[in-house]
Amino acid sequence: MSTNAMKENVSARPPVTSFSEDESLFRSTVREFAEARLKPLVKKMDEEGAFQKDLLKEFFELGIMGIEIPEEYGGAGGSFFMAVLAVEELSRVDPSIGVIVDVQNTLVNNVFLRWANETQRKKYFPRLAKGSVGAYALSEATSGSDAFALTTRAEERPDHFILNGRKLWITNAKEADVFILFANANPPAGYKGITAFIIEKGFQGFTVGKKEDKLGIRASSTCELLLDDCIVPKENVLGKVGIGYKIAIETLNEGRIGIGAQMTGLAQGAYEAALAYTKERHAFGREISQFQAVQFQLAEMAIDIECSRTLTYNSARMRDAGVPFVKEAAMTKYLSSMMAERVTSMAVQLLGGYGYTKDYPVEKFYRDAKIGQIYEGTSNMQLQTIAKLVLSE
């Protein structure tokens, strides 16, 4: 894209904090759903560490599982920015739900949009838009930040591949029917042998393993995947053999913006709970919100959240405008995750002893926030990416 074209695209973007009529309506619809339907279930799902599956049907009916999928395939035909709004609003009530919708839209659907051929789109998009949950399987026991040190192998046969290996920490794995899974089809070539495959839950040799017992986002399933001579048809290769590394790198950029939305939403939820408490709690004859020390903490929280939201929205707008956004995505992921831990910690502090109990939501938000600095690229990896791009400018 030429410099002039890039400038035209940027100038054509709506201002970061403005919304079209469709975006505003969509956001309010998701918020109303989260408040009415999800909020009463948050505590139960967290305690049981399990997602209430009957909610999935409602997610699909609401259209939040196929936001960017074109209407011709049964999707909503919306923008990436709308997906970000959905993740933020859901995470404001329960980040566990936010990440389910995030992975579906910013990773799985996004991969199909960018890399699937027309046959694959016709086969999988209607399912992903109307009833099938997707998962993204890259990480392994020895392949986290060093994502391309993966050991899962794909052996080519005349009309299919045989996959063997084990994936760990796969979000949505328990509920998913469709998996984007990465394996090396040519180990001597190193990362250039990595290939992306579309795997269905019923494929021979494919098993969803144990669910992890996590600190936070407990309703969201995080499981291992086992491949024991798993048979995958050749038509289920995404893109072509050997470009899986490119697919993974580019897809995760959008995913990091999604995590920014999740962290912004959960911080907003914690802030609102803390703000309400300071107006109800009395000490020394007045609301504690009247004390300057409390006011300053609330002000810092509001500033932090707004900075994160603005950066997240800007990155999403840049992605929709088709301009480079890798640096901004990394900044979004880093800043939002650090912000979320700071804001939720302050929320617990403002509630005092009550904040440390499970009777108030801030305790859960605090636990949920930590994962933001770990998955889809640790904070250190984001700093490395940012530094590299800054130094190359």
With a pLDDT cut of 90, the percent of the chain lying above it is 92
Domain 3-133: which CATH class? Answer: mainly alpha
Residue 385 has a pLDDT of 97
Q: Of 76-85, 118-127, 142-151, 261-270, give the lowest mean pLDDT range.
A: 142-151
200 flagged as catalytic: no
pLDDT digits (tens, 9 = 90+) for 113-172: 999 999 999 999 999 999 999 999 999 998 888 877 899 999 999 999 999 999 999 999
pLDDT band with cut points at 50, 70 and 90 for residue 69? very high
| 3-state DSSP assignment of residue 18 | coil
The residue ranges of every structural domain in the chain are 3-133, 136-242, 245-392
Of 47, 361, 39, nearest to 218 by C-alpha is 47
Catalytic-role residue among 47, 71, 376, 393: 376
Residue 10 has a pLDDT of 44
Backbone angles phi, psi at 228, to 5 degrees: -125, 95
What is the Cα–Cα distance from 61 to 131, expressed in whole angstroms? 9
Residue 3 has a pLDDT of 40
Other CB atoms within a 10 A radius of the CB of residue 111 amount to 22
| Cβ atoms of 245 and 184 closer than 8 Å | no
When pLDDT is averaged across residues 341-369 and rounded to a whole number, the result is 98
* Whether the predicted pLDDT of 374 surpasses 90: yes
pTM of the complete model: 0.94
245-392 CATH choice from 3.30.420.40, 1.20.140.10, 1.10.760.10, 1.10.150.20: 1.20.140.10
Q: What angle do CA 1, 20, 304 make, to 5 degrees?
A: 85
Residue 14 has a pLDDT of 59
Q: Of 11-25, 57-71, 220-234, 241-255, give the lowest mean pLDDT range.
A: 11-25
State the Rg of the chain over Cα.
21
Which CATH number does 136-242 carry? 2.40.110.10
